[in-house]
């Protein structure tokens, strides 16, 4: 009996250790493909690495234990997990051989169910007022998630960025909901002086500058740069979208985010800084 118990323990240890060892090897391969996918000079190499990365991460997430696998050590891949760990959102970007930006990702629920995100090729004109599904998703890389309670309901906000092929960057504050077991991106939560609210907040600015859109814990508000247009002195007839130096905000009131014109006060005698620990990539590594 003693030997049978010992054998049972040893077998259990081996069964547990095998998938862990396999995951370590897969993690190294994912890190390699992600590095090539983002940083290779040759576009065909980036595309080849992106295909290999997609295939491998799809295989990894089929594992019953995969929700417990951490992707935080894999550079160039963003993993956002809310405080209650109800799900996680994994996203990444790369440039294809035409130097256009491609986006991909997956939402994995706590029970292991996966919903793969398929990015829209063209940006819809009504992005601020639209809801998106996994198969029609506004492709972006998420760099922060904020979980909060509104009237007894747990709500999640994803903060993301999207590089435009027209030389601009879009940052968003986007609600995510799990409805009937499927993720829905966007919800009418943002209101200003108009009758109808927006499904997401968006700022657009020139990619050769930087701007902030974040949830400020000290102020308990969503804070973002005021973006203005200026004439580009280095290119005839060109316009740049740049931060003006003041900040706007939305404050949570009765479960809705309400707009404020300006929040310049003593607390913001210096500009609010973007969290440097986010997964937003460095400019030079993306040719920006």
* pLDDT, averaged across the chain: 86
Q: Mean pLDDT over residues 224-231, rounded?
A: 93
Longest Cα pair distance anywhere in the chain, in angstroms? 86
Q: How far is CA 282 from the centre of its chain?
A: 15
Of 91-100, 149-158, 197-206, 268-277, the one with minimum mean pLDDT is: 268-277
CA–CA dist 192, 258 (Å, integer) = 6
N-to-C CA span, the chain: 67
pLDDT at 1: 60
Above 60 in pLDDT, residue 132?
yes
CA–CA dist 219, 49 (Å, integer) = 42
Of 47-56, 102-111, 256-265, the one with minimum mean pLDDT is: 256-265
pLDDT at 5: 55
Residue 67 near residue 85, CB atoms below 8 Å: no
pLDDT at 286: 34
Of 97-101, 139-143, 181-185, 267-271, the one with minimum mean pLDDT is: 267-271
pLDDT at 12: 47
| Domain residue ranges in the chain | 1-69, 79-286
Q: Mean pLDDT over residues 114-121, rounded?
A: 96
Residue 3 — pLDDT band, cuts 50, 70, 90? low
Of 70-74, 88-92, 193-197, the one with minimum mean pLDDT is: 193-197
Closest CA to 222 of 205, 244, 242, 198: 198
By residue count, the chain amounts to 288
Please give the backbone phi and psi of residue 46, each rounded to the nearest 5 degrees, phi first.
-65, -45
Pairing type for strands 101-109 and 87-95 reads antiparallel
Residue 267 — pLDDT band, cuts 50, 70, 90? very low
CA–CA dist 206, 278 (Å, integer) = 20
Residue 10 — pLDDT band, cuts 50, 70, 90? very low
């Amino acid at each position: 009996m003693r030997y049978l118990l010992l054998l049972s323990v040893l077998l259990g240890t081996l069964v547990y250790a095998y998938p862990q060892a396999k995951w370590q090897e897969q993690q190294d391969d994912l890190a390699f493909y992600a590095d090539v996918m983002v940083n290779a000079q040759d576009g065909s190499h980036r595309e080849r690495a992106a295909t290999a990365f997609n295939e491998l991460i799809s295989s990894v997430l089929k594992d019953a234990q995969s929700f417990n696998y951490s992707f935080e050590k894999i550079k160039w891949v963003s993993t956002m997990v809310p405080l209650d760990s109800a799900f996680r959102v994994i996203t990444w970007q790369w440039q294809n051989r035409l130097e256009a930006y491609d986006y991909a990702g997956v939402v994995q629920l706590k029970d292991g169910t996966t919903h793969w995100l398929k990015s829209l090729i063209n940006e819809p004109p009504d992005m601020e007022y639209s809801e998106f599904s996994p198969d029609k998703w506004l492709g972006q890389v998420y760099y922060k998630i904020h979980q909060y309670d509104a009237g007894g309901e747990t709500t999640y906000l994803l903060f993301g960025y999207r590089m435009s092929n027209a030389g601009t960057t879009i940052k968003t504050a986007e609600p995510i909901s799990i409805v009937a077991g499927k993720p829905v991106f966007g919800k009418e939560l943002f209101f200003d002086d108009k009758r109808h609210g927006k499904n997401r907040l968006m700022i657009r600015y020139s990619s050769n500058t930087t701007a902030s859109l974040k949830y400020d814990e000290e102020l308990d508000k969503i804070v973002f740069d005021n973006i203005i247009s200026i004439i580009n002195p280095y290119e005839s007839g060109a316009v740049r979208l740049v931060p003006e130096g003041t900040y706007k905000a939305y404050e949570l009131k009765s479960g809705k985010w309400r707009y404020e014109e300006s929040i310049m006060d003593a607390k913001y005698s210096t500009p609010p800084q973007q969290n440097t620990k986010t997964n937003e990539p460095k400019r030079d590594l993306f040719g920006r």
